[in-house]
């Protein structure tokens, strides 16, 4: 069934997780789920609490950008309290969970573009933002924010049409957001709980990157680098082979595939 709006009960009902998504704070309309999740985390919300909105009016993207988040999309934030050791892996496990969930629910293949865009046929279907509060070696909280274009007609959004897609545009039919959300929460919990057992999220994430081996342009702050995306380090940084043969480590940036 393809539902029009979400509710806390519809998400928690027979949700097969131990803690992620077992408490849901739902809003029909909200500025940004990140802001509410941060406030909740600072007030000690239970680990795994999610904040979810049918629509965001001031969705936050990476690098201070805005994230378009109209009705029909998924906008959710998950509150976690991980060890500082696991912080770099949150982006990796979130993007893998999105790829697995899209495949399970729709059969569509998607890929990760460094660091955490999920693409279908070269267009962005999902963005992920991780924000954390860290003091020294102590993580006060970490929030994984996930935005998925589910039932959006991209022709209604000409500003992102050239670079974005949605599950419904790819399939030619609408998709149950509840199915995607439930699958996503299960996958994130599974990957998160496997971290202490040493399961290599890093290797799986590296293998899913569409970026590696490709000629790229990387914008990091005000600097633009060109080269071949050679590899990624275990902390999530991109290792870029420059035309002069040197290797540059890039911690954060935007990649454009050039070939």
Could you say which of 21, 48, 59, 253 contacts ligand BTN (CB under 6 A)?
59
Could you say which of 7, 22, 61, 194 contacts ligand BTN (CB under 6 A)?
61
Interface region with ligand BTN, contact rule CB under 6 A, candidates 60-68, 169-177, 178-186, 187-195? 60-68
The reply on whether position 166 binds ligand BTN by CB under 6 A is no
The reply on whether position 177 binds ligand BTN by CB under 6 A is no
The reply on whether position 34 binds ligand BTN by CB under 6 A is yes
Q: Select 139 or 143, whichever has its Cβ closest to ligand BTN.
A: 143
The reply on whether position 123 binds ligand BTN by CB under 6 A is no
What are the beta bridge partners of residue 55?
29
Sign for the pseudo-dihedral over CA of 247, 248, 252, 255: negative
* Residues 202, 195: Cα–Cα separation, whole Å: 10
The reply on whether position 115 binds ligand BTN by CB under 6 A is no
Distances (CA, A) of 33 to 79, 85, 109, 144: 11, 25, 27, 10
| Residue that is written with structure tokens 């992620």 in the block | 20
The reply on whether position 129 binds ligand BTN by CB under 6 A is yes
Cβ partners under 8 Å of residue 51, min gap 6 = 25, 27, 30, 33, 36, 37, 40, 76, 77, 79
Q: Are 216 and 232 in contact (CB under 8 A)?
A: no
Point out which residues bind ligand BTN (CB under 6 A): 32-34, 56, 59-62, 65, 67, 69, 75-77, 117, 127-129, 145-147
């Amino acid at each position: 069934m393809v539902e029009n709006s979400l509710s806390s009960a519809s998400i928690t009902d027979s949700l097969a997780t131990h803690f992620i998504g077992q408490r849901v704070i739902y809003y029909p309309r909200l500025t940004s789920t990140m802001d509410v999740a941060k406030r909740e985390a600072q007030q000690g919300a239970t680990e795994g609490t999610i904040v979810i909105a049918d629509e965001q009016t001031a969705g936050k993207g990476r690098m201070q950008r805005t994230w378009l988040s109209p009705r029909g999309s998924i906008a959710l934030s998950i509150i976690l309290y991980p060890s500082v050791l696991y912080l770099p892996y949150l982006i990796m496990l979130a993007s893998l969970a999105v790829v697995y969930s899209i495949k399970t629910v729709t059969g569509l293949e998607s890929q990760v573009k460094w660091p955490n865009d999920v693409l279908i046929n070269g267009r962005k279907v999902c963005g992920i933002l991780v924000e954390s509060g860290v003091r020294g070696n102590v993580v006060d909280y970490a929030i994984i924010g996930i935005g998925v274009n589910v039932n959006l007609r991209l022709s209604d959004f000409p500003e992102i049409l050239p670079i974005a897609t949605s599950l419904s545009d790819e399939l030619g039919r609408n998709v149950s957001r509840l199915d995607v959300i439930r699958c996503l929460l299960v996958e994130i919990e599974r990957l998160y709980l496997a971290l202490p057992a040493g399961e290599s999220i890093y290797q799986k994430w590296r293998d899913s990157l569409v970026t590696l081996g490709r000629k790229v342009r990387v914008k990091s702050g005000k600097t633009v680098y060109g080269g071949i995306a050679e590899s990624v380090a275990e902390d999530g940084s991109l290792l870029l082979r420059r035309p002069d043969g040197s290797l540059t480590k890039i911690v954060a940036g935007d990649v454009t595939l050039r070939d």
